A and B are shown apart, each in its own frame.
Chain A
Amino acid sequence: MSNDNSDVVLRTVGLTKRYRRLLALDDLNLEVCRGQVFGFLGPNGAGKTTTIALILGLIAPTAGHVEMFGLDTRRHLSGVLRRTGAILETPSLYPHLSGRDNLRVWGALSGGVEGKRVDEALDLVGLRGRGRDKVRTYSLGMKQRLGLAAALLHDPELLVLDEPTNGLDPAGMREVREVIRGLGQIGRTVFVSSHLLSEVEQMCDHVGIVKEGRLLTQGSVATLLRQGEALEMEVTEPDRAVRVLGSLAWVNGVRRDHDRLLVEAPRERAAELSRALAEQQIYLAELRPREGSLEEFFLEVTGKEAVQ
């Protein structure tokens, strides 16, 4: 992936973090372009939170650096963070303050926001009615939503979200997903980490997959899913069909499951495939395209790592 510099909002260059013997992140090279909703996917302990802490300048890299809005964060961290909103792993809030006062504090640290903006942010996450209650009385889901409001408070160009739906019930998760999708639609750039495949598939247009501190792949969700496309069929003579299909140059692989065959080939070539079999007097009983799923792709690249 290579893009014009002005288009790249977030870039990591050889980002590495080592804690004594543990290599938490190894030579991470990521690019997130303006307007993308980028899902940073990986199993627990893969290095997602470390990456986010490095991006936000909370921890220092062992090697490499981060560029945001085209600026090297080693020199311009304060400036670029003012254009960024973030949620870290768990909601970090002042329990002795009300939700509204928490937002006032975060707003002040972001350079000052008007009271009206605080109300809008509370509205956005459905907490207007509880804004005057102390945060210590909030549920985890409410705290998570208040954290999202804090991240959005100063209308940032880039949002960096670490597992933003943690602790939310299904309805809350859907609300957050809609907020994030909506942000993408209005041109905001979102970098969101998650270990939930379905969540990333629903929210993101681009994805990077990380495992054991190494980036395994990155690209648009559509492109990655296309790699997992296959044609599923039932034929009269499966054994011979496997040999015939295996001889076709554009077939990437054939797997057999009893009488059914799974052929890794572009769906546009289904007719050619049918003709090739018919020429050998092998006939189709059923043929249907099978969509690639992010889960399959993820399992393939991470080596069957268990995820939800």
Chain B
Amino acid sequence: MRFHIALFLAGVITALPPCYGQVKTSSAVASAKASVESTQQTLSTRVVAYQIDARLDPTKRTISATETLRYRNLTGQSQQTFPFHMYLNAFQPESTFMTESQRDNPDLEWKKEHFGAIRITHLEVGGTDLTSQIQFIHPDDNNAADRTVMQINLAKPIPPGAEVEFKISFEDQMPQVVARTGYLRDFFMVGQWFPKVGVWWKNAWNCHQFHQNTEFFADFGTFDVKLTLPQNEIVGAGGDLVSSINNSDGTKTLAYHSEDVHDFSWSASPSFTDVEDSWTGSAGTVKIHLLMSPGNMSTAPRYMQALKGTLGLYDQWIGPYPYDRITVVDPPHGGVQAGGMEYPTLITADTSWFVPKGSLLPEAVVEHEFGHQYWYGMVATNEFEEAWLDEGINTYLEVKMMDALYGKGKSVFNFPFLQLDDDAEQRATYLLQPDTDPITRFAWKFYDDSAYGAVTYGKTATVLLTLEKLIGEETLRQALHTYFMRYRFTHPTGEDFLKTVEEVSGKDLHWYFEPAIYGTQIFEYKILDAHSEPLKWYEPEEQGSKPGDEIYRTYVTVQRKVDFVFPADLKVTFDDGQSVLEHWDGRDRWMRYVYDRKAQLVSAELDPGHQLLLDRNFYNNSYVVKADGRATSKLSNIWSFAGQLLAQLFAWLT
């Protein structure tokens, strides 16, 4: 279908008078054909083709570059106005990003090293200099001082199907790393560094300002990037290295090419140690580069193991990884702000010179950031408006994969004296702020950064973990596989995801999605009452009666404390060794179960499978008749010991 439309459009364009200098009328048909043919061979619909020639000055921390962007107008409409992201301008004190950061962190200090900027020195389209036409717009908050979105109006509109070529010269001033991108000592993490055109989405330009809680959204295409920098710099980039040429002035020029991606980032430091390996999956061999910073080499094998394990599980559970490379950048000490980030085929990790083996945090970061190659990298959802679709789904799979790779119950901390599971960590994150914002809120509209983190990561993961109770773990995995295979290299929405889950499970789940995804309802069930008493309670107890002689009536009452309705299992155990499993739909506020038998109650437990992770209080989900104070004693021992030792340390003053 796309072939015929393209041919028709090409014919229309050919018939038009050649007054649009930027439209390649003479080669429209050829380029349309080539585009279609390349579309049929390519993984994505390539809307953009960037050619960037950049030079890094590590002393001044600047990048001077020229960019040629060829944009294919596949919007179906003529376009005359084009918005561009200018993300680096966020690192200025009056920007929206910094203003919001200070709002949520009043102790935030501004240092001049944190200043970052991107400045366009020349912009030309079709031979016309439009530099003076650049306007900064503020579609989200009317902050006139924010310069993270610029807009350019062309002299003439670009017809649908045609291409437009932007020639841009720009200069970057890299900030000392505040968030994601910047320098630290001799290290550079260069992300969101070039003027990036917005996305035509849902019949309008989608090009939000850069906020404290937002990430990125861009179209798929190709990148041909040349980097000129000192010869001693070791570089990792989100592309295949095509050539490396040493220049006579002590620099070298590295040329990279990348296809079917929506961003290009790179990192450089003369202090990196490059650890290479490879992994082979269903789509072929993937070259792995770990760029390790000084002092962190002991973590390299751990990163590698986590990465390969994750590659394998994603290949098995979700779908093939189609690229031939992945680079892991290990930020230097003090550079944690550059860590834990994802770019197409390049991720940044996070560790320290000493991390005990029982702490799996470095592994979890690598697992999570690689997961973004799928959720965001290939399934390129709008991170401004639906951050949960990449962060939340990715966090859910992080929990599952960490369990698979490192063991359930100990996938974050695994010490003999202390354990922490990733699902417990995500649940705890969610419960920090469970009721301020729905999952579906636009990222920059969350109450604050804590709420954004708690809900987007923790709550979404917990919602999906609880969803397993309704449709099964295997079905949910199948749904994710289907969603990935159907929507990779496109820009799906939350509705697309939820409909896929319903389709694969064969169930109408809107009653669950409504409170869990779109609402802020809290989930809490409890055992309200559980006890046994003699059926003939009015008769005196018989002397010499044996257990099992008398009939007892057992009452177990369960309660839904708040508004989230969900079916739950109830397991009632008696002292004759028997147990009963009930299924409660949770619709009424409470339900009483009554049993008459020659046995007394031992325990009652809601959700014996421990699947309702959304429940904010696990402790009231069960009742045991016979008290066991050992857990209390254990905790009391610990705080008493700590207190006694503290008292003696204070007494050092005497």
Chains A and B form a bound pair = no
Which residues of B are in contact with A by a Cβ distance under 8 Å? none
